[in-house]
Chain A
Amino acid sequence: MSPLETRQSLIVRLKSEQNELAWRDFVCAYEGFLNQLVRRQGVPERHVPDITQQILLTIARSIGGWKDDGNAASFRRWLSTVSRNVVIRFMSRERKQAGGIGGSDLVAQLQNVEDKPDEQHVRRYQHELIVWAAEQVRHEFLETSWRAFWATVIEERSVDDVALELDVSPGSIYMSRSRIMARIKKKVAEVENDQCPNPNDQ
Chain B
Amino acid sequence: MIDPVTLIVALIIVSTPVLLAAIGELVVEKTGVLNLGVEGMMIIGAVTGFITAVETGSVTLAFLAGMAGGMILSAVFGVLTQLLLSNQVATGLALTLFGIGLAALLGVGYPGSSLPPVPDLFPASMQAIPVAGPILFSHPLIIYLAVLLVVAVWFLLQHTRTGLVIRAVGESHDAAHALGYKVIRIRFLAILFGGACAGLGGAFLSVARVQNWIEGMTAGAGWIALALVVFASWKPWRVLLGAWLFGGISALQLRLQAAEVNVPVALLDSSPYLVTIIVLVLISSDRARAALNAPAALGKVFHASG
Do A and B interact with each other, yes or no?
no
Q: CB within 8 Å of A: which residues of B?
A: none
